[in-house]
Structure 1
């Protein structure tokens, strides 16, 4: 049986390494979808885990406005189209799959003719937690005695293909064109770690509330739990431990008990956290980065009004003499230049020939056909910098791209 997971990620740096190192013991392939809401060290941690050999696939949806339900269902169908995939488990980055036996054994016993619903056990911060412990399920060992009323689903891929199943927001349930058997199971469940530290808690509330402003298809009440927590923070209330109850839904006053997540089915060496320096939550930085992303969205809307639809869109890498030479080489009306890229942080968000200057990590906020490297001398170095930033090599070119565009424009003019 091939089991794959699907996870939409935001700012998850404090828990993402724990999530991968634990769940990959039981899951064959882990697909992560990210957008411009992921602005902390989460992606860097995932790329390092990927280089280690963890079965990670990264999908960039930074150019799409935040639409959780639509995006999850898009990738649900993509994953289900793989004939080798048997079971798809949508998981948030703070969810750990566990069972009364080895989770992998329990999963492989499931029939593939129905959707499964699993219970949700909420783990909560406790005053005596050892905050020096970096593997989150070892740090947080207290949970609510009563499981939350919400459930999460697992879906056989053939049902997605045959019954056109649709995940509800948050993958708490499914919709389908015909009656599909949905079985509630108790021997497999989700250990949920929604709140880890005060910094992570505040970052989640502030940054997600900003992001939700652009969630245009949000239903009535979706995200309301974060809205209520935001109002308390803005009123000056230190509601970290009180805020935990929001994630308990109907069981807001349940008793907290100590019940450590079962780890005996994992290789202890593979649970070792290797990147603790990337896991620290920086609230100020996250707020600033979220604001920058929102500002770049507004910038792009304005540039959209200036671009000509029949011309390719380019980002120019460089703002020095070579970039000036490129501008002299570009004939009028053959290229839309959207922004310039420079690695010098002091140039970030300055203007160069009426276009904004960005650093490489901001490239994913921009739609473009090509990135044109202005320097021939440092071409290879700049190319590798772009590849490390996650840019497809096929979308990177040198100055020959402009020459080819110029020749094509001349040929078109002669033919006309």
Structure 2
């Protein structure tokens, strides 16, 4: 019997994680989560779902910075070697597998291939969405008519020497990129923006986390750079403009609701988006600052660099 394991790095997704788990129980045999320091109810909900009987395992990374590639390699090896995956599918918590007629993913796996690509289909927030509906795929029914070419990779377990790209958009083995043809009729329904406040918090924290990792983070976070700079330098353009409003008008979209397989939610709780975003960002910023402080206190080389930096004086004018 073919065994599929889903691998998900997660951070502060308590508005969508329960629906994610309930939906994917129909498609995968086990879910492996690597939490990056959630401070909302994400971990509480995952524990409740595990106690309910869902097959999931949760690890947490103490790192406050950015190492997507290393985390991806670790998660792939864990899924392959410990959880016995025949196939590993990489998903974010806002990505939901969609198959023709909602059949199980295992029936759609490619024969004779070691990797496959699941294209992302982006869904947007419309003025008509019922904000009282907690199940995101039931609430957000409209996708953008124009779609991009971005996809997420899934691959066979147990392959030696594989390295996943940051973002899980491709995979390399022995320095060569593996062919990953698209699965016919299979895609990922992508819900990156459930409200404007959630996106602003994600941009701010994501950019700071990447910058804290040095040059590697700078390279892999360029998509955050421009909106972060606007938020930093011209916040009125976001708060006084249309940014916090819905991002999809129906004339620009297609009504194509996901065949959500998870049923209703038991652990979701309502919250105020603006308060949730502020709390999440400040908790993340504090954790990042404390991690920097521990380096300065505990690592001799880092302490010397900090002292040299503090002692440096530059003439400005």
TM-score range, shorter chain: 0.7 to 0.9
Question: TM-score w.r.t. structure 1 length?
Answer: 0.64
Shift, 1:216, TM fit = 2.6
After superposition, give the CA deviation of every residue in 1:128-171 in whole Å (9 maximum; x if it has no partner): 1000000000000010123321111110114x23xx22111101
Q: 1:347 matched to which residue of 2?
A: none
* 2:273 is the alignment partner of 1:272: no
Equivalent pairs counted in the alignment come to 289
1:16: Cα distance to partner? 1.2
* Whole-Å separation in 2 of the counterparts to 1:105 and 1:12: 24
Deviation readout 1:337-393 (Å, 9 max, x if unpaired) = xxxxxxxxxxxxxxxxxxxxxxxxxxxxxxxxxxxxxxxxxxxxxxxxxxxxxxxxx
Q: With CA pairs under 8 Å and 6+ residues apart, which has the higher RCO, 1 or 2?
A: 2
After superposition, what is the alpha-carbon deviation per residue over 1:265-312, rounded to whole angstroms, capped at 9, x for unaligned?
Answer: x3xxx5211122276641221122112202221332243159xxxxxx
The change in CA–CA distance for 1:278 and 1:2 in structure 2 (over 3 A counts) is: farther
Residue correspondence of structure 1 range 15-414 to structure 2 within 5 A: 15-36=16-37, 38-63=38-63, 65-82=65-82, 84-105=84-105, 107=107, 109-111=109-111, 113-158=113-158, 160-161=159-160, 164-177=161-174, 180-218=178-216, 221-234=219-232, 235=234, 236-238=236-238, 239-240=242-243, 255-263=252-260, 266=261, 270-277=262-269, 281=273, 282-304=276-298
Q: Which SS does the other structure have where 2:216 is aligned?
A: coil
Is contact 1:80–1:157 with CA below 8 Å preserved after alignment? Answer: yes
Q: 1:210 to 1:105 in 2, by over 3 A?
A: closer
- Taking structure 1 as reference, are residues 201 and 181 closer, same or farther at Cα in structure 2, changes over 3 Å only? closer
Residue pair 2:195, 2:244 contacting (<8 A) in 1 also: no
Contact 1:118 1:186 in 2 (8 A): no
SS at match of 2:131: coil
Q: Measure the CA separation in 2 of the matches of 1:218 and 1:72.
A: 15
Task: Measure, in 2, the Cα distance between the counterparts of 1:99 and 1:8.
Answer: 22
Distance apart, 1:39 and its partner CA? 2.1
Measured at CA, do residues 165 and 278 of structure 1 come closer, stay the same or move farther in structure 2, by a change above 3 Å? Answer: farther
User: Which segments of 5 or more consecutive residues in structure 2 lack a partner in the other structure?
Assistant: 301-317
| 8 A Cα contact 1:14 1:200, kept in partner | no
Once the two structures are TM-superposed, the CA of residue 196 in structure 1 deviates from its matched residue by 0.4
Task: Give the unaligned 5+ runs of structure 1.
Answer: 246-253, 307-416
Deviations 1:225-276 (A, max 9, x none): 222112333411235379959xxxxxxxx9311111123xx3xxx5211122
Q: Structure 1 residues 156 and 288, CA, compared in 2 at 3 Å: closer, same or farther?
A: same
- Separation of aligned partners in 2, 1:227 and 1:110: 37
RMSD of aligned Cα (Å): 2.5
Report what 1:8 is aligned to: 9
Contact 1:125 1:241 in 2 (8 A): no
SS in 2 for 1:49: helix
**1:13–1:42 contact (8 Å) kept in structure 2:** yes
Retained in 2: the 8 A contact 1:41–1:278?
A: no
Compared CA separation, residues 181 and 14, structure 1 to 2 (3 A): same
Given that 1:67 and 1:217 are in contact with CA atoms closer than 8 Å, whether structure 2 keeps it comes out as no
Assess if the C-alpha contact under 8 Å between 1:142 and 1:258 holds in 2. yes
CA distance in 1, matches of 2:282, 2:113: 47
1:123–1:193 CA contact under 8 A, matched in 2: yes
SS across alignment from 2:101: coil
Tell me, in whole angstroms, the C-alpha distance in 2 between the residues paired with 1:182 and 1:286.
36
Deviation at 1:114, TM superposition (A): 2.1
Mapped contact 2:210–2:220 kept (Cα < 8 A) = no
Residue 64 of structure 1 and its aligned partner are, at CA, apart by 6.6
